[in-house]
Amino acid sequence: MDGASNPFSSVLVANRGEIAVRILNSARELGLRGISIYSDSDANSLHVEISEEAIHLPGKQLSETYLNIDAIINAAKISGAEAIHPGYGFLSERSDFAQAVVDSGLIWIGP
């Protein structure tokens, strides 16, 4: 499958570690540009290295980074991402995150 059949060409993965790596690899296989986010402590993580672009979310606390809805949506806008995939855990089951993504004009990929 190539990116031509997808309704978008780039996805920001709002997660870290192995979960983000798997999603980024799948995005690449689909011809999508994969964008990651990372906290201070994850700067040298594999998900950052394999993404086409990585956006730093300053902070060490989850509330400042991977649970910060506004910061994640801002990172998507800055990077030009058209969609957000939440991964597993963190914000993946938060309906307010899904709604904020849609309200910001981005595509929600998730449960």
Give me the residue spans of the domains in the chain.
8-87
- What's the topology of domain 8-87? Rossmann fold (3.40.50)
Residue 65: per-residue pLDDT: 96
Residue 6: per-residue pLDDT: 74
Query: 3-state DSSP helix/strand/coil percent for the chain, to nearest 5?
Result: 40, 15, 40
Residue 110: per-residue pLDDT: 85
Residue 4: per-residue pLDDT: 55
**pLDDT tens, position by position, 25-63:** 999 999 999 999 999 999 999 999 999 999 999 998 999
- Tell me the C-alpha distance between 37 and 25, whole Å: 15
